Amino acid sequence: MTNLVNHQIRLAARPVGMPTRNNWSFTEQMVGEPSEGEVLVKILSLSLDPAMRGWMNEGKSYIAPVEIGQVMRAGGVGKVVASKNPDFAIGDYVSGGLGVQEYCLMSQADLKRNNLRKIDLRLGTLDQWLNVLGMPGMTAYFGLMDIGQPQPGETLVVSGAAGAVGQTVGQLAKIKGCRVVGIAGGKAKCDWVVEELKFDACIDYKAGAVKEGLKEHCPKGVDIYFDNVGGEILDTVLTHINLKARIIICGAISQYNNTTAVAGPKNYLSLLVNRARMQGMVVFDYADRFNEAIVELSDYLKAGKLRSREDVVPGLNTFPETLLKLFKGENFGKLILQVAADE
């Protein structure tokens, strides 16, 4: 292990608007040997998520910001290559908060803080452990089931329908008996969620007015809206909600790179009129229940009821540009950065 070099990407400056390569520093250091209780993980793939943009900002949030000079925070999957911890053996596949780097040496305190846990590749592939069985899947499952509380026959609308969270939300809602309408950008994405994922319909926000699409595809109104984008689309859906509707605020990717104040919903009085509920959700709140979701979602994967699509980009050094695919709508499926091959 003593000859291994760890290449890392650290936050060099807080971005204003869209992050650029200048916001990052590229560093390297020798890989250390584990001490008693520690584990060394070789990182194979990293999950690139819209939330990462928020972690770069200073200020109070649900999680402390990444500090200047710190390795950028990221969830990932990897393989244990050295261990002095009885809970982890060499060759174990693991997932957790690993950071944008090639190796991660974790103390016992880090193991708990970064939620390092063994993963079973019989339940899903490495990529699926960053998608359906990872944070996006957990977000979809608990956001929909705990906050959305879907009932058979209800109409669910999900924005970012072809993205990591949206694809699982829509399929899970179909399994639970809902009519599902996606919102996505571009004909290819809309065709995919309808033809492959079996959504009832998909509105292409790049091709026309979302308002008209909702009128056409949600004639009975919207009972559940799973919001991943915020902005004008959220405002438009609010004008179509039903009595006792549930709106899950998962993300607002359309607003993350704003250089001006984030605009609030203009049509919030629709919540009052319809006695509806709008609730934010943070997936980390459900960490002690992840296994519950993994068991159910892996069963659906095995039964062919649930599909996943990943957009994998190789190369740690491509991280700055690859991350931007999220905010430009260029990713098709769950965006993953492949750091190393599984050998």
Confirm whether 319 is domain-assigned: yes
Q: Does residue 148 share a domain with residue 255?
A: yes
Residue 259 forms part of a structural domain: yes
pLDDT, tens digit, for every residue of 150-163? 999 999 999 999 98
Partnered with residue 46 across adjacent β-strands are 76, 337
- Residue 65 belongs to some domain of the structure: yes
pLDDT in tens, 262-319: 667 889 899 999 999 999 999 989 989 999 999 999 999 999 999 999 999 999 999 9
Give residue 1's pLDDT: 54
Question: Is the confidence at residue 251, as pLDDT, over 80?
Answer: no
Instruction: Indicate whether 154 and 278 sit together in one domain.
Output: yes
Task: Say if residue 24 is in the same domain as residue 117.
Answer: yes
Asked if pLDDT for residue 27 goes beyond 60, the answer is yes
For residue 111, what pLDDT is reported? 92
Same domain? 163 vs 263: yes
Domain check: are 243 and 315 in the same one?
Answer: no
Same domain, 194 and 257: yes
Overall average pLDDT of the 7-33 stretch: 95
Domain count, the chain: 2
Residues 329, 278: one domain? no
Question: CB-based contacts of 90: which residues, under 8 Å, 6+ apart?
Answer: 80, 81, 82, 83
The answer to whether position 301 is within a domain reads no
Two tokens, residue 161: 């329908």
Q: Is position 276 within any domain?
A: yes
Helix or strand holding residue 24 (H, E):
strand 24-30
35-43 mean pLDDT? 96
Taking each helix axis as running N to C, give the angle between helix 164-175 and helix 290-303, from 0 to 180 degrees, rounded to the nearest 10. 70
Query: What pLDDT does residue 58 have?
Result: 85
> Tell me, what's the pLDDT at 2?
59
Full-model pTM: 0.90
pLDDT digits (tens, 9 = 90+) for 104-122: 999 999 998 898 999 999 9
pLDDT band at residue 337, thresholds of 50, 70 and 90? Answer: very high
Residue-wise pLDDT tens digits, 88-102: 999 999 999 999 999
Give the tens place of pLDDT for each residue, 164-217.
Answer: 999 999 999 999 999 999 999 999 999 999 999 999 999 999 998 899 999 999
pLDDT of 253 > 60? The answer is: no
- 147 and 271 inside one domain: yes
User: Is the residue at 296 inside a domain?
Assistant: no
299 within a domain of the structure (yes/no): no
| Residue 229: pLDDT band with limits 50, 70, 90 | confident
Q: How high is the pLDDT of residue 190?
A: 96
In what helix (H) or strand (E) does residue 269 lie, and over which residues does it extend? helix 269-273
CATH code of the domain containing 16: 3.90.180.10
Do both 107 and 156 map to the same domain?
Answer: no
Domain of 55, in residue numbers: 5-131+308-338
Residue 89's CB: how many other CB atoms inside 10 A?
11
Do 240 and 150 lie in one domain? The reply is yes
Residue 255 has pLDDT above 80, yes or no: no
For residues 231 and 102, state if they share a domain. Answer: no
Sheet holding 277-280, edge to edge: 201-204, 179-184, 155-159, 222-227, 241-249, 277-280
Q: What CATH number does the domain containing 157 carry?
A: 3.40.50.720
Top-ranked range on mean pLDDT: pick from 109-113, 131-135, 258-262: 131-135
What's the whole-number average pLDDT of the chain? 93
- CA distance from start to end of the chain: 16
Tell whether the model's pLDDT for residue 258 goes beyond 70.
no
CB 259 within 8 Å of CB 189: no
> Tens of pLDDT along 45-54?
999 998 899 8
- 141 and 264 belong to one structural domain: yes
| Residue 321 placed within a domain | yes
CA distances 186 to 29, 160, 183, 193, 197, Å, are 43, 11, 10, 11, 16
